[in-house]
Chains A and B, each alone.
Chain A
Amino acid sequence: MYQVEEFLNPGVLAAVLIFLIPIILFPIILLLGKKFEKFRRYSGILATSGIFISFLLSYYLYSLNESFYYQNGWFYNFTWGVFVDPLSIAMAMMVSGVSFLIHMFAIGYMGKDPNRHVYFAETSLFTGGMLGLVLSSNMVMFFLFWELVGLCSYLLIGFWWFKPNAASAAKKAFIVTRVGDVLLILGLAVLYWSLLPVIKTGDPLSIYNILKYANIVPKDQLALAGALVLGGAAGKSAQFPLHVWIPDAMEGPTTVSALIHAATMVTAGIYLVARIYPVYLYAAPWAGYLVLYVGAFTAFLAGTMGLVMNDIKRILAYSTISQLGYMLSALGLGIVASQYTISISIYHLIVHAFLKALLFLTAGAILYSLLDIRDIRKMGGLWKRMPITITAMLIGALTLVGFPPTAGYFSKDEIISLSYYFSEQNPGIYYAWILLLIGAFLTTLYTFRMFFIVALGKPKSYAAENAKDPPWVMLAPIVILSIFSLIYGIFQEGFYKYIGNFEFTLPLYIEILPFILVLFGIYIAWLFYGSSRFSAQNFARKSGFAYRIVKAKYYLDYLYTNIIADRLIVYLSYVVALFDRYIVDGFVNGIGKSFNYLASITRRLQTGIVQNYATFVIIGLIVFLILGKIMGVI
């Protein structure tokens, strides 16, 4: 890691252009599309090629094989610049690559939408914001891009704003992530406040210095900062108390869901924790346990909710929440055990990006040919009708559950094994292992429930009978992503070495325990949904109470909207509004009014009679002459 002084360095220029190109494309596509009707059909191609250039530049950074940072004065002790290390390069390549494939799919998927130039402009900005977030060298710059990503998610979830569900889902996503953002900015404030006394005066408050000085900051302050920053990460990455926005966000176009879940938005929270990993490492231990158990509990909880959903996209949404829980707990495991386990978490993040993009794109292809029917109970028998799409979906599902030899086996089972490995020395981690293990079982159950209902059996609607594979512009990304999901496992060792290696060995029966659970889960899903041996309805009826709670998403939505928002926030807002209206506004208006009053008196001087003015001029002249005489100037 070294500092690059000059801006015109090929590495620095490439890193800046990576996020600048998609951001610059935003106004270009928007304005051209607005001015020329005919341009709109090319907007998708323009956005896709812009992101492809970003991908090539990311690959160029990778081929440089160097870690460096560049910073330039911004304000006070803050600098803007780029921070390039294996972690950010891996993220940038994943974001731009997966985003490129999703954009390519969207050329077909959004091809008939009248406002597609707005769509592509916004997704381009979305990707650019995420790339900027990944490469920024300063937490304040990071926060700006973080907010840009949040704004774009709001715009894109509400892209079909005329649907009331989409409009309210967009608002919900924005407000829930805003809670996280407030926590994040508080966390950054605490972090800087505790960092300033130990840092050398004049040293910029960059990420580099945060990582460098984290070990000499008081542990309790770091833990507080870490916990607050974790709140921000939980908001963006949909972790336990703040996960409620993701299922509703499915109201946007499917490609937007793919972007949010795979490439851009939700990975930002995991990246945030990984980016300032030493802060947690040197903090008081409770911060690490918080990270671990938020992740592990979310992985378990989201799995249970995914079991009872009937909307294909919502099932995938809960699986995303669950997998993000795995990534976060992988980070937490390393923190609790004081080891450097970023590579394991980020490897799962990247594998998950491939497989989740794949699953969402196949879901998009299904929705495309089924005319937006999202209820899996109305599908069925699609394997015969859309062979390529559903085969790709099977690959995605196998990768998601971690079936060897897909990439998921190498990434997810690694996390579960890691938790067992650490729990041998640290019994506090033992429960996390159990939660993650059950989470893996639940993942298998709901993934294959979805797959069996969608792929097998008889078509249950007219649209499902006439489904067929989508055109090639949509199939090509799906095929590429399925190949990646299948073979990415061979890069495991290289990837771990690239980011930072951590090796461990376990007895075989622990290593294959998740795999046994996966097989068991597939078998149970087959019994219920693949064959008609058991009836899921009967089972749901028998376990009535538990089913009702899970179906109602543990009443968390009810708690947030009906109790916290309606009973608490609304009344609080009344008080705050009164304060604003009478005290803040009163102060501002009071200043205005006092000047108005003063003016109403003094303006009487302006009589409008020219001779009065002349009189004043002459009196003034005489006064000046007399003064000059007295002071001896004249």
Chain B
Amino acid sequence: MIPLIYVLTVSLMMFTVGLYGILTVKGGIRLLISIEILVNSANLNIVAWAVNIADSSGIMFVLLSIAIAAAEAAIGFAIFVALYRQTKGIGLKSLMDLRW
């Protein structure tokens, strides 16, 4: 069995990568990928703890979380499709109308 701390370290690394991604990337698809990485780091964290304390309900929650992540990705794609129809591009710069 892999020690808990190893799994948590991987989860932390994934979280950092995802956070860096959503703060810096310029393209819509990359943004969605970064969010997926973030969500999955959290999932990994929960699973690791669930195994550690031998409680299966944590695993069930992660299954739910994966389903929600899928739905959220679908919504994200829908937004970007709508954005593409408006501006012929899905760069995050084209979302800058939301200001003074």
Partner-B contacts on A (CB < 8 A): 603-604, 606-611, 614-615, 618
Interface size bracket, B side: 10 to 19
A607 to B95, CA, bound (A): 11
- Tell me which of B16-24, B54-62, B67-75 binds A: B16-24
List of A residues within 8 angstroms of B53 by Cβ: none
- Interface members, chain B 66-95 (any A CB < 8 Å): 92-93, 95
Main DSSP-derived SS at the B contact region: helix
> Contacts of A607 on B, CB cut-off 8 Å?
96, 99
**With A and B bound together, what is the CA distance between A259 and B92 in angstroms?**
76
Contacts A614-B22, A615-B23, A618-B23 given; indicate if A609 touches B92 (C-beta within 8 A). yes
Smallest CB separation, A599 vs chain B (Å): 9
Checking B23, B24, B96 against A608 with a beta-carbon cut-off of 8 angstroms, the contacting residue is B96
Residues of B within 8 A of A611 (CB): 22-24, 92
21 A-B pairs whose Cβ atoms sit less than 8 Å apart in the complex: A603-B99, A603-B100, A604-B100, A606-B99, A606-B100, A608-B95, A608-B96, A608-B97, A609-B92, A609-B93, A609-B95, A609-B96, A610-B98, A611-B22, A611-B23, A611-B24, A611-B92, A614-B22, A614-B23, A615-B23, A618-B19
The 4 closest A-B CB pairs, nearest first, are A608-B99, A608-B96, A603-B100, A606-B99
CB distance from A427 to the nearest CB of B (A): 83
**What's the nearest-Cβ distance from chain A to residue B17, in Å?**
14
Chain A residues, CB < 8 A from B97:
608
Which residues on the B side are within 8 Å of A608 (C-beta)?
Answer: 95-99
Task: Please give me the residue from chain A that is nearest to B95 by CB atom.
Answer: A610
Measured CB to CB, the closest approach of chain B to A538, in angstroms, equals 86
Please, how many angstroms separate the alpha-carbon atoms of A99 and B90 in the complex? 78
Q: Residue-by-residue, is B7-23 near A (CB-CB < 8 Å gives 1, otherwise 0)?
A: 00000000000010011
Residues in A neighbouring B98, C-beta threshold 8 A: 608, 610
Residues on the A chain within 8 Å of B24, using CB:
611
Bound complex: CA of A615 vs CA of B22, how far in Å?
Answer: 9
Residue of B whose beta carbon sits closest to that of A603 = B100
Min C-beta distance of B69 to chain A, whole Å: 18
Across the two chains, which residue of chain A brings its CB closest to B19? A618
Nearest-neighbor residue (CB-CB) of B99 within chain A: A608
Closest to B24 in A: A611
Cβ-closest chain B residue relative to A602? B100
Other A-B pairs, 18, CB within 8 Å; known A608-B95, A609-B92, A611-B24? A603-B99, A604-B100, A606-B99, A607-B96, A607-B99, A608-B98, A608-B99, A609-B93, A609-B95, A609-B96, A610-B92, A610-B95, A610-B98, A611-B92, A614-B22, A615-B23, A618-B19, A618-B23
For A608, the closest partner residue in chain B by CB is: B99
In the assembled complex, which residues on chain B have CB atoms less than 8 Å from the CB atom of A609?
92-93, 95-96
Which residues of A lie under 8 Å from residue B19 when comparing CB positions? Answer: 618
Shortest Cβ distance from residue B22 to the other chain A in the assembled complex, whole angstroms: 6
Residues of chain B lying within 8 A (CB to CB) of residue A603: 99-100
B23-38 contact mask (Cβ, 8 Å, vs A): 1 or 0? 1100000000000000
Q: Which residues of B contact A618 (CB under 8 A)?
A: 19, 23
For the complex, give the distance between the alpha carbons of A408 and B93 in Å: 93
Find the B residue at minimum CB distance from A613.
B98
Which residues of chain A are within 8 angstroms of B100 by Cβ–Cβ distance?
A: 603-604, 606
Query: What is the CB-to-nearest-CB distance from B95 to chain A, in angstroms, rounded to a whole number?
Result: 6
Task: Report A8 CB to chain B, min CB distance, Å.
Answer: 59
In chain A, what residue has the closest Cβ to B26?
A611
Cα separation A460 to B68 with both chains bound (whole Å):
102
Residue of B whose beta carbon sits closest to that of A607: B99
Distance in angstroms between the alpha carbons of A429 and B35 in the assembled complex: 101
Query: In whole angstroms, how far apart are the Cα atoms of A361 and B44 in the complex?
Result: 99
- Give the chain A neighbours of B99 by CB distance below 8 A: 603, 606-608
Complex Cα–Cα for A50 and B92 (A): 71
In the complex formed, the residue of B with least CB distance to A615 is B23
B58 to chain A, nearest CB (A): 22
Q: Which residues of A contact B96 (CB under 8 A)?
A: 607-609
Closest chain-B Cβ to A529's Cβ sits at a distance in Å of 83
Minimum CB–CB distance from B7 to chain A (whole Å) comes to: 23
A609 to B99 alpha-carbon distance, docked (Å): 8
A612 to chain B, nearest CB (A): 9
Q: How far is the CB of A603 from chain B (nearest CB, A)?
A: 4
> Whole-angstrom distance from the CB of B13 to the nearest CB of chain A?
17
- Min CB distance, A570 to chain B, in Å? 47
- Residues from chain B with a CB closer than 8 A to the CB of A615 are 23
CA distance A611 to B35 in the complex (A): 12
- Shortest C-beta distance, A517 to chain B (Å), equals 85
A610 vs B99: C-alpha distance when bound (angstroms):
10
Bound-state CA distance A615–B100 (Å) is 19
B92 / chain A contacts, CB cutoff of 8 Å: 609-611
In angstroms, how far is the closest chain A Cβ from the Cβ of B100?
4
A608 to B95, CA, bound (A): 7
Give the distance in Å from the alpha carbon of A618 to the alpha carbon of B98 in the complex.
Answer: 20
